[in-house]
Structure 1
Amino acid sequence: MEIFKSVIQVLNVLSALVVIVLVLLQHGKGADMGAAFGGGSAGSLFGATGSANFLSRATAVGATIFFCTLLALVKIDTNVVATSGGGVMSDVVKTAPATTSGQVPAVPVDQGKQNSIPD
């Protein structure tokens, strides 16, 4: 199981690097205007319009691989234990112990008169 997890981690890192490189290789929407006025980037390796389609599709494939490997790592690392009625904080929150007598302590009668303003 650890070998399988390691392979998925390597694929996850490689796909993240591929997505980063592909995003940095793509030109922005404003780069076409510079090419129209004599910029040298119009004649790229993939052609004027072919590079956008190739790079955007390769980025989509890389991102899909990245998210699939990420979800696989989460599924592998999550140890789900079936508990009845338990939530996220079920192990942390403890209930207060019940009082043994069940009686409420008596409040002095003249406590309310101490805070009153004299006439």
Structure 2
Amino acid sequence: MSIAKIFILCIQFLSALGVIGLVLLQQGKGAEMGAAFGSGSAGSLFGVTGSANFLSRATAALATVFFICTLALSFLGAHHAQNAAGALGAMKPSPGAATPAAEQERAPSAGSDVPE
């Protein structure tokens, strides 16, 4: 596997873990982040806008990184030359084997038992 694929895969893994963690940290509507820390002063922890705005923006940013990595991996994985005839078109006969068309085109020898 190329270094670019490994790097993108690591970023995708870390962003997936980050999204999972941030979603689990978020509280439902009506619940404050201060309840999770045991006090009511959560405004000083994340600023004036509160924890919901910070967590939702961080989740959206990591989700965007995850989807970009997914698209990049799918592009890198599917970017290879394909035969127009499919898998059967790629098969080549062995050099010692004669094809049926070549056998029909050969004229029988003069001393053969095959009638004409």
Asked whether the two chains share a fold, i.e. TM above 0.5, the reply is yes
TM-score normalized by the length of structure 1: 0.57
Structure 1 residue 23 displacement after superposition: 0.6
Structure 2: how far apart are the matches of 1:66 and 1:80?
Answer: 27
- Show the 5 A alignment for 1:28-67: 28-32=28-32, 40-44=38-42, 45-46=45-46, 49-67=49-67
**CA RMSD, 1 decimal:** 3.0
- Show the 5 A alignment for 1:1-80: 2-32=2-32, 40-44=38-42, 45-46=45-46, 49-78=49-78, 79=80
Question: What percentage of residue pairs aligned between the two structures are identical?
Answer: 54
TM-score normalized by the length of structure 2: 0.59
Q: Which range moved further: 21-30 or 63-72?
A: 21-30
CA displacement, residues 68-98 of structure 1 (integer Å, 9 cap, x when unaligned): 0011001111135263xx7xxx658xxxxxx
* Structure 2 alignment gaps of length 5 or more: 89-116
- Name whichever structure is richer in helix by fraction: 2
Q: Give secondary structure in 2 for the equivalent of 1:28.
A: coil
Q: How many residues align?
A: 83
Higher RCO, Cα 8 Å, sep 6+ = 1
Structure 2: how far apart are the matches of 1:3 and 1:67?
Answer: 19
* Structure 1 alignment gaps of length 5 or more: 93-119
Structure 1 residue 57 displacement after superposition: 0.3
- Show the 5 A alignment for 1:66-105: 66-78=66-78, 79=80, 81=82, 83=84, 91=87
Structure 1 residue 30 displacement after superposition: 3.9
